[in-house]
Amino acid sequence: MTHNFPVHVYYEDTDLAGIVYYANYLKFIERARTEWVRGLGIDQSRLKEDEGIVFAVRHLEADYLSPARFDDELTVETTMTSMTGVRIVLQQEVKRAGDLLFAASVTLVALNEAGLPARLPANIRQNLH
């Protein structure tokens, strides 16, 4: 199942050439991941408080295909491609009117309070399916 997250490009998102600064795509997909998790009924604050578990980006591969510009209406599409007890792999794409501008494969891991890999609780794994 694909989660869609709308992004409006603001002036602050662009560089001197008027195109979205490359690092801002990472912010766009981070916001989309947060909303994807929230939409699955997972409260990340409660997960940290109750279980001592947080999500962290372990690996990211990104392709910048075409520039977005000031005032563009974008959509970030997030799809889970695989999951283990401690790892989630997502495909995230930023599109403008259906045209692919940016694509990333993002590997998230669950970490405990010591920063070590932690198994996701069964109820969280269930929500992710």
Catalytic positions, written as ranges: 15
For residue 92, which of 62, 124, 127, 50 has the smallest C-alpha distance? Answer: 62
Angle at the Cα of 67 from the Cα atoms of 5 and 88, rounded to 5 degrees: 40
**Cα(109)–Cα(29) distance, integer angstroms:** 16
